[in-house]
Amino acid sequence: MLKRKISEQLIDWVEHKDKKCLVVQGARQTGKTFAIERFAEERYEEFIEINFKQTPSAAEIFSGDLTVENMIMALRFRFPEKKITPEKTLIFFDEIQECEEAITALKFWATDNQYDVIASGSLLGIDYKRASSYPVGYVDYMTMHGMDFEEFLWALGISEDMIISLRSYLTTKKQIPNAIHTQMMGYFRLYMAIGGMPEAVQKYVDTKDFREVDTVQRNLLQGYQYDIAHYANAEEKVKAEKCYLTLAKQLLDKENHKFQYKEIEHGARAQKYYSSIEWLLRADIVHLCKVVTDVRYDLDDYARDDFFRAYTTDLSLLISMKDFSLKQHIVENTLSGNTKGGLYECAIADALYKKGYITYFYKNETTKKELDFIIQVDGQVVPIEVKSGHAKANSLTSTIKKEKNISYAYKFIDGNIGDSDDGIITLPLYMVAFI
């Protein structure tokens, strides 16, 4: 059974919630349902689960007056074997986007506060504007992504002591012993090849067969394409899928990773396709990294909406857009050129996204200065560069010298911890999981 960080977050929610339901957001197949079911098993005497996509007839529970008394009565008729008791029962509405009135009813569950209620669904379906009365102020939110690198290590059976030891090197900045570093780089390459979708990770853990993993990844990608076709309106279906399936080419085959519409089709323009990118973003199928015109807080004030990179929300989905041989090159460390640099960049983007950071980048064609990523930590701007080798980070160095408000930066490399000169902290790629 895969261990997930959201388990602790769910415990924290139930212990500190104040008359609120919980909405667990996130893309499809990231493990939301499984995590909530395990939480219910460990924490409650009774568990009621309704999947509105699987049993659309359950919407009848909300066809009358939306009082808790009426809804509980309807649930008891539907689940006569269940003992639905206040404070001892968790009610879980899965794929709630399929039932507008169930979304509206969250307000009344929260106000009544006798039962713990969790709702979940993929963001492609949850269109809050459709709900007749969305319960603003009556729900807490939690976002679940695919597995991050630390969760991946747990799945491989790496001990907590080993992970704590790794974290300590981030504080001391001492070089990691070569035997450990080599092993960790091997694990990180494995993670890049498999990604963090739980089904793909579990398949590897069970079989150690990359062909089996590849089948899972491609089925997941097919599922995302199906969801685009199912949820996008007629005008966006084809355009959104074209935008999505071009990401591997945009990120792994070119030196410039800025999203370019011409890669979708000859003569394509933002006017035609930008709405499709916005749809993919709202659906949690992609996340964007926008360019900024200045490296100062608040970065959002300097961000351009028309100049961005688009990343898949998990490496599994990106890798499955390419030929199977890519996995072999990743694991055997035989990548080169644009593909190697692009994949390392995607891996760092993936890690930052899963840690909850909004990412930006900087590029100045005149000065030729470029910063791969910029994040904000405690109101402070933190630049990041990603190197596939040991090349100097000239843009990073000049930025720190010029911008007095920047006190430190990260350089992630395919190598061991390096000297931290002029505020630049040099770390192995896998240490991004612990910053």
Domains in the chain: ranges and CATH: 6-143 (3.40.50.300), 149-434 (no CATH)
What is the reported pTM? 0.94
C-alpha to C-alpha distance for 169 and 330, rounded to whole angstroms: 25
pLDDT of residue 11: 96
Task: Work out whether the CA dihedral 140, 141, 144, 148 comes out positive or negative.
Answer: negative
pLDDT of residue 128: 45
Give ∠ CA 375-253-333 in degrees, rounded to 5.
80
Contacts of 97 (CB under 8 A, 6+ apart): 52, 103, 121, 122, 125, 126, 127
Spatial CA neighbour of 53 closest among 102, 91, 6 = 102
* Mean pLDDT by groups of 10 residues along the chain of 435 residues: 95 92 93 96 97 96 94 96 96 93 95 96 58 76 96 97 94 94 97 98 98 98 93 91 97 94 93 94 94 96 96 97 97 93 97 98 91 96 90 87 91 91 92 96
CB 27 within 8 A of CB 122: yes
